[in-house]
Amino acid sequence: MHSLKMGARRIARWIMKNTVVSRESLTPEIALRLITETCPLWMATPDKCPFPNPYWAFYWPGGQAATRYILDNKKEFSGKTVFDFGAGCGSASIASAMVGTRSIANDIDSVITVALVSIALNYRLNKLSDANVQYTNKNFLSPMEIDNFPKDSIIVLGDMFYDTDFTELTLKWLARLQKERGTRALVGDPDRHPMADRNYAKSYSVKFSRIPLVDYPLPDYIIREHYGFNTAKVYELVFN
Ligand SMILES: C[S@@+](CC[C@H](N)C(=O)[O-])C[C@H]1O[C@@H](n2cnc3c(N)ncnc32)[C@H](O)[C@@H]1O
């Protein structure tokens, strides 16, 4: 069965049945429906899941750091719109609601986006109203979308730099957003190689600096789940 053949209600039922509620993260105040090591799907082959790449069912270390940062720095986000790019489980958007900031939860994972259904469920799980969140599966990476990008927004990128081609494309887009719309870009990242490896960074056509904000030690469970990463950083990207 493919997700295109499932409506939002059936997707929601599937998520409730196949995930567990977890608070094991840098942000235990947020409960999320995730696939963890206690779920049968944890060790299953990809054909057992009806959705391709269920990234929304995992809480990535970079997303955890960015979300922790929002919860700990309420004033910095006051009066802004948090644009949760590649929202996944929606943690950065949920943290924004918790600190009283509106947000846009953006993910393109499939045509009927399973990620957006999962984010709506996670809002309900945390007994939060989603009145101040806008859900969208539009691909904002298109140059056509620069003029439509909401003013006064802070774009939050949780664990989005996992592939070098995608990183370069995203950096070009962020540079234009900063120049033309004044958009700040905050990144949560556990030092994945497309950003942490200096040789890759030098090879990108876009030049930028990383302004360090914080480096969080990851909880033991997350270190086990995301083997090879012990901390996750938050930094701001500034383009030259
Ligand atoms: C590694 S996950 C990170 C999820 C979440 N930010 C976190 O840290 O837990 C990457 C997410 O980016 C989404 N994504 C990939 N390309 C995208 C694009 N062009 N626009 C919006 N979302 C995108 C994927 O569907 C996936 O949910």
Rounded mean pLDDT, 126-151: 89
Is the pLDDT at 1 greater than 70? The verdict is no
Q: H/E/C letters for each residue in the chain?
A: CCHHHCCHHHHHHHHHHHCEEECCCCCCCCCEEECCCCCHHHHCCHHHCCCCCCHHHCCCHHHHHHHHHHHHCHHHHCCCEEEEECCCCCHHHHHHHHCCCEEEEECCCCCCCHHHHHHHHHHHHCCCCCCCEEEECCCCCCHHHHHHCCCCEEEEEECCCCCHHHHHHHHHHHHHHHHHHCCEEEEEECCCHHHHCHHHHHHCCCCEEEEEEEEEECCHHHHHHCCCCCEEEEEEEEEC
Report pLDDT digits (tens) over 182-229: 999 999 999 999 999 989 988 999 999 999 999 999 999 999 988 889
Type of residue numbered 181? R
pTM: 0.95
Ligand 1, pocket residues at CB < 6 Å: 55-56, 59-60, 62-63, 85-89, 91, 106-109, 115, 139, 141, 158-160, 162
CATH number at residue 164: 3.40.50.150
Average pLDDT of the residues of the chain = 92
User: Which residues form the domain of 134?
Assistant: 3-239
Range name among 73-77, 91-95, 222-226 with the lowest pLDDT average: 222-226
How much distance in Å is there from the Cα of 160 to the middle of ligand 1?
6
Is the pLDDT at 3 greater than 50? The verdict is no
| Count of structural domains, the chain | 1
Residue 43 CB neighbours (<10 A): 8
How much distance in Å is there from the Cα of 218 to the middle of ligand 1?
20
